[in-house]
Structure 1
């Protein structure tokens, strides 16, 4: 208040800025992706986010989570045609795996190359008003790995998704140049959530 009077600032609300997706993110479905380290068990301090030792990345690293975005071409890939178990197209699952199932928790790691994706399977099944998803992914480039089970649910109203959430959970290991894992090579559990952006 004092500064406002001294500088003769006007009391105006902060302007609202319209939300924009990051450059290059497009598709009929767009997911907000969050990544984080998961608890490692009672008494396990390996990979602790803050260990009291000086580290010029400590303020950044102590949060140990990150956010990303990914777009998928068509919603139809996630909608079952019948009541039985059906596959989400492998190309769609591989796209998600390559782009965002990457250890970016503490920094940045490159996306996976096509040959790094060893397994990418996701099924869909209608159960009442809900669509359930189950799957597995496994990526390995020789210096880092991530293997995860995928679970999810979506609500499709016949024209559009009202909600669609996927969770990938499993061990990651290794490191990339800028992902701050030199002292935490693992294996250790990591979780990734994909939530439909509305």
Structure 2
């Protein structure tokens, strides 16, 4: 129903409710017709509306599928009761949207790369002989959480060796290492995560080694470790993540561009944040996977969660 009977649109309420432009005004107009009346510290929720901003039905997020199915049915009923003149596409006027509020508008960095990030709460497979086999199941964070890592043009160009030879070590800029560990090695499987403060990074090492060189391609191997904890005495930390990283970066030599960025972090996570309650007790495995995308899918251009303060995200 969401795909066939509606046009799905997603936005981050943190930006949208603050925008002082046509887009922000439109959201506040729609939200003002809901049960909150557009008031309060959040406008989050699932809104079904007409293109001219008339609210058809609303429900706060996090509802069971059968509840949301009923909301969508009610919205369709309300839509079908509208006069036909309100439902024709010609009834929707195109307007000059004016100046965009740049303070609350995020676009990927010019010339940069977008890396999709998936996070899963994992379970060790106790049935086999290999302790390094993991599984995941729906519920309690078993579904993949999604985010994006932004690499600026300066970031990714620093990973390309001038004259690559097997065994050569490539330095990864510290800002990239810090950005990955502080803002993407987080447990966001149950809600908005608390990011790691700089003082909570106990260890963060990543190395790139040239593995294979051909006339067309350079293959690099990424290896790293990260220890993140809310206390210098890790045994007393109420939240932490102790992870190893392994990955492959591939470079197209003729164009000097990165064509592959596949990295996995795996380790034990513990603790929870204000909006990520319900963590599993003790230490439990958490996996984070990074995969390069080309940005052609609009969903891939959604800003990283931590980029609300963009300068601190790019230069942590």
Regarding TM over 0.5, the answer is yes
Offset, 1:108: 2.0
The answer to whether the aligner puts 1:140 opposite 2:225 as a matched pair is no
Pairing 1:118–2:202 present: yes
1:120/1:194 CA distance change after superposition, 3 Å: same
Question: Are 2:141 and 2:189, in contact at CA under 8 Å, matched by a contact in 1?
Answer: no
Is the 2:120–2:141 Cα contact (8 Å) retained in structure 1?
no
Pairing 1:72–2:151 present: yes
Please give the alpha-carbon distance, in whole angstroms, between the structure 2 residues aligned to 1:88 and 1:122.
7
Residue deviations 1:65-104, cap 9 Å, x none?
Answer: 2001121222123334543223312221111111111011
Q: Do the aligned partners of 2:121 and 2:141 also contact (CA within 8 Å) in 1?
A: no
Compare CA radii of gyration and give the structure with the larger one: 2
- Quickly say closer, same or farther: Cα 1:171–1:62, change in 2 above 3 A: closer
Q: Is the 8 A contact 1:150 1:169 kept in 2?
A: yes
1:88 equivalent in alignment to 2:172:
yes
> Which consecutive residues of structure 1, in runs of 5 or more, have no partner in the other structure?
1-6, 11-22, 51-57
**When you count strand as a share of all residues, which structure comes out higher?**
1
1:19 aligns with none
1:139-168, CA deviations, whole angstroms, 9 ceiling, x for partnerless residues? 112321011111111210132111111100
State the Cα distance separating 1:39 from its structure 2 match. Answer: 2.1
The 3-state SS of whatever aligns with 1:133 is: strand
Aligned-residue Cα RMSD (Å) equals 2.6
Higher relative contact order, chain-length normalized (CA < 8 Å, sep 6+):
1
Q: Residue in 2 aligned with 1:194? A: 290
Q: State whether residues 99 and 112 of structure 1, in contact with CA within 8 Å, keep that contact through their aligned partners in structure 2.
A: yes
**How many residue pairs were aligned?**
167
1:25/1:178 Cα in 2 relative to 1: closer, same or farther (>3 Å)? farther
Cα displacement string for residues 113-147 of structure 1 (whole angstroms, at most 9, x for unaligned residues): 11111111111111113111101111112321011
Q: Which runs of 5+ in 2 are unaligned?
A: 1-79, 89-104, 128-135, 213-217, 231-236, 295-316
- Map residues 1-198 of structure 1 onto 2, 5 A cutoff: 24=106, 26-27=108-109, 28-42=112-126, 61=140, 63-73=142-152, 74-81=155-162, 82-83=164-165, 84-128=168-212, 129-141=218-230, 142-158=237-253, 159-182=256-279, 184-198=280-294
Contact 1:25/1:70 (CA < 8 Å) preserved in 2? Answer: no
Report if aligned partners of 2:247, 2:261 keep a CA contact under 8 Å in 1. yes
- In 2, the alpha carbon distance for the partners of 1:62 and 1:147 equals 18
Assess if the C-alpha contact under 8 Å between 1:77 and 1:92 holds in 2.
no
TM-score normalised per structure 2: 0.48
